[in-house]
A and B are shown apart, each in its own frame.
Chain A
């Protein structure tokens, strides 16, 4: 059906991205909000049915709307609308065009009907998000981010190519037992922020601008969850992976100092919940993962907006430098508290609905270990998000709080929009359960549920008061796995060259020899890098002769 293809939700965002790049001022503002609005409309109006396109002898299905796609599409479009309103005062045209391209790719991923289309949008998503980071002038972080996603893309691409033989390009449930499906799983998990590469999330997202991080926090990891739901439902390997993510995210979020790094680690932790649910694989669990992704996009957007507003107004997002802002920024404080409580699944917030669904799915599947661990992590998430963030950033008394510059009212409007959605779902859970029918049977607002959750949260709050001194932020760098690829190579290089120099000096006391050796090494390095290709003509001739000899030898054998 041609109209399925023409009405795909990514079109208005692609066009919008181009339009934003070439317009300025009011028109640019209009386009940047209207494009995601139109996308939201199309998410629900694009007709079912699969439009196929023939490409190089393969049949592609660029758009295949189904219930899962529409739910994720709704969340992505809503996040894009709220984010666009929040970013109305963003002066960087590059960022505003990049976020729309990024949002378009995210829609493309969840609506994709075959593996190749999925991969194409996957790559565009990586490019769009890299541009968002680049647009804030964070070149090195942007390159690291791009490389990490190129790595994931490479795995995914190899896996897709390898799986062509059995089943072609169709989206289907794989089981992780062949090289091909393991490659695909690994590629998707890189984007989900799974260990051992979880650290890219906290490395990259805080380098985006005050508005860019709002978009980054919404799309990439949740699109990976959507793909996991499609390709690996019930893959038991995902349960331990998700549990590690949940614990890892909570631990680092508890000790981190920068608000946006706390929130980035928290993304990994919350995505861990979803990955566990996908690993359980029952219809209820998959529905719960979808619902939790939806809700997580809402409250994480709200938190990132609050953090972005603080950063914009004060110039810093470090907890050690903040504090005492509740009076000067009451609305932002309220937003941060609401977001944190939703993250901690306080009853009457949206987080309670989706987390109840995940917990019930675990209970029905008798996954006791996972249930206990996630319950504990859930309590821990109140510690870092519901209490630690608002307390140290806003509420705690401080003699001379940092000055907060006024921020545009549109930023508050965006926060109000998202906050209202969180409360609406919290008070009327059927808003969400009608979107995800699989979790309709979960009893959310029942007295025993509410009582249990409140007891849990009160216990966590008591812990917070008792551990206040320990939880106080410190201006230190937390060590994470990204040390392995950010610091270790340079350090090993330095150590090795120092050791080499020391060894030279110990063996040959004559410092002349050591100096000469060092010069030789340096020269060899230069010859291999910037000076590569500056061979002497005789050396080229020698290489040709050597190759001739080798070929003759091979031929003669």
Chain B
């Protein structure tokens, strides 16, 4: 195979690499072989995603017909400025998580189950990448199910028995979401006779009965909202994140909800045109309302948590609120902010959950009270947690500031100054919950747990320090990600093809 052929098949290879890697791990099922294979698969996928991003930047949209069938009949993979960003984020975070996973998984999961864990990590990654890369509504459902099923397994592998309940609840809720989605896709198919998203958008104006379309819209959006944990459909998330193994939490928190958000944006802007065609009490207002509720109520709940993982999980729900708010405001700046925050939040929350994973590795506890003075025993881990916390607040010099800056600018641009005030006001709640962690980690006298602890081993430190460094870099040298997010926003708004 020459390089050019490889290049041509890149859109599918990005998804196939982790899928085949997962298969290989499951066949070999040897604890020592699992990790290298997983790393190789994720690295290959990331390389593919980066190559795609270069190609998209140079040549615009890439359309790939799976199996050579034309898009009316077959499945089209379609890579543009929007999803290439998602591909890079997901494959990068998958690689970082897998680097982190080696020691973390070894300490948290029975040896016999470790290969299965890596298999599921890779399958989940493949599913998420597939959801992002596909241009076919039903194919997206298939990948959604692939990633979800793998995720249920990952959560159930948690060391706590409560993980089983959390996984079971997520399974029920996720299935409801997927069912809603597929009902909506079915209705769209009835109305337009195609499953290809581009063709659906083309044929929509000819549809005579708008009823089916409206129902399709409601089912699809609510289905996706369940997957992305939009308030008030967030309740599955805290327990799932809390009781899953550390590495699984890192992957889920930084990728799973983000891909669902992408799908939401794709449907809203590509198909339904929420921002254009709705009346006065528009869907956009509802989305704004729910986003604000997430930003305030979920962040407020985070303040009262006694388990750090759970605290960060609630913070995730709040942060997703910022992203959906950017989508609801729907102008260039706000969407740039939303897509930047997808990337920035993935990196910073990944760093935060890795730090908690490292603390769990050393101390066997993630209760907030047990973390008293842990910063002195584990200064690097504490510093990573601090940087991630500052970015959550949106302190200048961290990536969180840049995304908030764009969101606020977008809100002012849309003539919604009060929304801008809400965005900055909600940082207050972040100050409270991050301040609480910081005070306990750095300024409390070391407790029993902290006195027995030592700094995390290098295998855990390297990925989390890398992500923390990236959080700072993305806050200072923000040009490249901002440009990518800006292209994504323009592409969604139809300014660019």
Residues of A within 8 A of B (CB): 55-56, 94, 119-120, 123-124, 127, 134-135, 137, 139, 142-143, 146-147, 150-151, 154, 157-158, 161-162, 164-165, 179, 528-530, 532-535, 537, 539-541, 543-544, 547-548, 550-552, 554-557
Give Cα A162 to B425, complex, Å.
Answer: 15
Set A139, A147, A543: member contacting B432, Cβ < 8 A: A147
Q: B185 → chain A, closest Cβ, in Å?
A: 15
Task: Tell me whether B405 and A161 are in contact (CB under 8 A).
Answer: yes
Task: Tell me whether B222 and A551 are in contact (CB under 8 A).
Answer: yes
Task: Tell me whether A532 and B314 are in contact (CB under 8 A).
Answer: yes
Task: Tell me whether B439 and A150 are in contact (CB under 8 A).
Answer: no
Task: Tell me whether A551 and B428 are in contact (CB under 8 A).
Answer: no
Interface status of B177 (Cβ within 8 A of chain A):
yes
Interface status of B69 (Cβ within 8 A of chain A):
no
12 A-B residue pairs with Cβ-Cβ distance under 8 Å, sorted by A, are A134-B438, A154-B425, A161-B405, A528-B301, A537-B172, A544-B173, A544-B176, A544-B180, A544-B233, A547-B232, A551-B283, A554-B283
Other than A147-B432, A533-B301, give 20 A-B pairs with Cβ distance below 8 A: A56-B402, A119-B396, A154-B421, A157-B408, A161-B405, A532-B238, A533-B313, A534-B235, A540-B236, A541-B173, A541-B176, A544-B180, A547-B222, A550-B286, A551-B217, A551-B218, A551-B222, A555-B217, A556-B214, A557-B281
**Residues in B whose Cβ lies below 8 Å from that of A135:** 443
Give Cα A550 to B225, complex, Å.
Answer: 13
**Residues in A whose Cβ lies below 8 Å from that of B282:** 554
Task: Tell me whether A533 and B214 are in contact (CB under 8 A).
Answer: no
Known A-B contacts A530-B306, A533-B234, A544-B222; A158 and B396 likewise in contact (beta carbons under 8 Å): no
Task: Tell me whether B301 and A534 are in contact (CB under 8 A).
Answer: no
List B residues 404-458 near A (Cβ within 8 Å).
405, 408-409, 412, 417, 420-421, 424-425, 427-428, 431-432, 435-436, 438-439, 442-444
4 A-B pairs with least C-beta separation? A533-B238, A529-B304, A535-B235, A532-B301
Task: Tell me whether B235 and A554 are in contact (CB under 8 A).
Answer: no
Interface status of B360 (Cβ within 8 A of chain A):
no
**Residues in B whose Cβ lies below 8 Å from that of A544:** 173, 176-177, 180, 222, 226, 233
Give Cα A135 to B408, complex, Å.
Answer: 33
**Residues in A whose Cβ lies below 8 Å from that of B151:** none
| Binary CB contact string for chain B from 111 to 125 against chain A (1 if under 8 A, 0 otherwise) | 000000000000000
Task: Tell me whether B218 and A548 are in contact (CB under 8 A).
Answer: yes
List B residues 269-316 near A (Cβ within 8 Å).
278-279, 281-283, 286, 301, 303-306, 310, 313-314
Q: Residue of B at shortest CB range from A161?
A: B408
Set A55, A162, A534: member contacting B478, Cβ < 8 A: A55
Interface status of B239 (Cβ within 8 A of chain A):
yes
Give Cα A77 to B396, complex, Å.
Answer: 24
List B residues 370-421 near A (Cβ within 8 Å).
390, 393, 395-397, 402, 405, 408-409, 412, 417, 420-421
Give Cα A19 to B425, complex, Å.
Answer: 35
Known A-B contacts A56-B479, A551-B218; A165 and B235 likewise in contact (beta carbons under 8 Å): no
Interface status of B6 (Cβ within 8 A of chain A):
no
Task: Tell me whether A158 and B420 are in contact (CB under 8 A).
Answer: yes
Known A-B contacts A143-B435, A161-B420, A557-B279; A134 and B442 likewise in contact (beta carbons under 8 Å): yes
Q: B488 → chain A, closest Cβ, in Å?
A: 16
Q: Among A124, A161, A548, A552, which residue has the most Cβ atoms of chain B within 10 A?
A: A161
| Binary CB contact string for chain B from 194 to 223 against chain A (1 if under 8 A, 0 otherwise) | 000000000000000000001101110110
**Residues in B whose Cβ lies below 8 Å from that of A532:** 238, 301, 304, 314
Task: Tell me whether A552 and B214 are in contact (CB under 8 A).
Answer: yes
Give Cα A151 to B426, complex, Å.
Answer: 10
Interface status of B237 (Cβ within 8 A of chain A):
yes
Give Cα A315 to B46, complex, Å.
Answer: 60
Task: Tell me whether A551 and B281 are in contact (CB under 8 A).
Answer: no
Task: Tell me whether A179 and B301 are in contact (CB under 8 A).
Answer: no
Q: B453 → chain A, closest Cβ, in Å?
A: 19
**Residues in B whose Cβ lies below 8 Å from that of A530:** 304-306
List B residues 154-187 near A (Cβ within 8 Å).
169, 172-173, 176-177, 180
Give Cα A547 to B442, complex, Å.
Answer: 42
Give Cα A506 to B322, complex, Å.
Answer: 46
Known A-B contacts A537-B169, A554-B286; A543 and B232 likewise in contact (beta carbons under 8 Å): yes
Give Cα A139 to B412, complex, Å.
Answer: 36
Give Cα A137 to B438, complex, Å.
Answer: 12
Interface status of B482 (Cβ within 8 A of chain A):
yes
Task: Tell me whether A150 and B180 are in contact (CB under 8 A).
Answer: no
Give Cα A160 to B333, complex, Å.
Answer: 16
**Residues in B whose Cβ lies below 8 Å from that of A143:** 432, 435-436, 439
Task: Tell me whether B417 and A540 are in contact (CB under 8 A).
Answer: no
Give Cα A268 to B479, complex, Å.
Answer: 42
Task: Tell me whether B286 and A537 are in contact (CB under 8 A).
Answer: no
Task: Tell me whether A154 and B432 are in contact (CB under 8 A).
Answer: no
Give Cα A383 to B426, complex, Å.
Answer: 44
Q: Residue of B at shortest CB range from A183?
A: B421
Give Cα A158 to B396, complex, Å.
Answer: 14
**Residues in A whose Cβ lies below 8 Å from that of B393:** 150
Give Cα A533 to B238, complex, Å.
Answer: 6
**Residues in B whose Cβ lies below 8 Å from that of A537:** 169, 172-173
Q: Among A135, A158, A534, which residue has the most Cβ atoms of chain B within 10 A?
A: A158
Q: B120 → chain A, closest Cβ, in Å?
A: 22
**Residues in A whose Cβ lies below 8 Å from that of B177:** 544
Q: B212 → chain A, closest Cβ, in Å?
A: 11
Q: A545 → chain B, closest Cβ, in Å?
A: 9
Q: A550 → chain B, closest Cβ, in Å?
A: 7
**Residues in B whose Cβ lies below 8 Å from that of A134:** 438-439, 442-443
Known A-B contacts A147-B431, A161-B420, A543-B232; A548 and B219 likewise in contact (beta carbons under 8 Å): yes
Q: B320 → chain A, closest Cβ, in Å?
A: 14
Give Cα A533 to B305, complex, Å.
Answer: 11
Task: Tell me whether A154 and B427 are in contact (CB under 8 A).
Answer: yes
Known A-B contacts A139-B439, A162-B412, A554-B286; A123 and B428 likewise in contact (beta carbons under 8 Å): no
**Residues in A whose Cβ lies below 8 Å from that of B428:** 147, 150-151, 154
Give Cα A533 to B235, complex, Å.
Answer: 5
Give Cα A534 to B239, complex, Å.
Answer: 7
**Residues in A whose Cβ lies below 8 Å from that of B305:** 530
Set A150, A151, A158, A555: member contacting B218, Cβ < 8 A: A555
**Residues in A whose Cβ lies below 8 Å from that of B442:** 94, 134
**Residues in A whose Cβ lies below 8 Å from that of B215:** 552, 555
Task: Tell me whether B169 and A162 are in contact (CB under 8 A).
Answer: no
Q: B219 → chain A, closest Cβ, in Å?
A: 7
**Residues in B whose Cβ lies below 8 Å from that of A540:** 169, 172-173, 233, 235-236
Q: B123 → chain A, closest Cβ, in Å?
A: 24
Set A124, A534, A547: member contacting B233, Cβ < 8 A: A547
Task: Tell me whether B395 and A154 are in contact (CB under 8 A).
Answer: no
Task: Tell me whether A555 and B214 are in contact (CB under 8 A).
Answer: yes
| Binary CB contact string for chain B from 219 to 250 against chain A (1 if under 8 A, 0 otherwise) | 10110011000001111111100000000000
Task: Tell me whether A154 and B424 are in contact (CB under 8 A).
Answer: yes
**Residues in A whose Cβ lies below 8 Å from that of B304:** 529-530, 532
Q: Residue of B at shortest CB range from A551?
A: B218
**Residues in A whose Cβ lies below 8 Å from that of B238:** 532-534
Give Cα A505 to B439, complex, Å.
Answer: 41
List B residues 441-484 near A (Cβ within 8 Å).
442-444, 478-479, 482
**Residues in A whose Cβ lies below 8 Å from that of B233:** 540, 543-544, 547
Give Cα A548 to B305, complex, Å.
Answer: 30
Set B172, B239, B435, B479: member contacting A533, Cβ < 8 A: B239
Task: Tell me whether A543 and B395 are in contact (CB under 8 A).
Answer: no
Give Cα A127 to B397, complex, Å.
Answer: 12
Task: Tell me whether B412 and A164 are in contact (CB under 8 A).
Answer: yes
Give Cα A119 to B408, complex, Å.
Answer: 15
| Binary CB contact string for chain B from 79 to 119 against chain A (1 if under 8 A, 0 otherwise) | 00000000000000000000000000000000000000000
Give Cα A529 to B396, complex, Å.
Answer: 30
Q: A112 → chain B, closest Cβ, in Å?
A: 12
Known A-B contacts A139-B443, A554-B283; A548 and B222 likewise in contact (beta carbons under 8 Å): yes
Give Cα A179 to B478, complex, Å.
Answer: 29
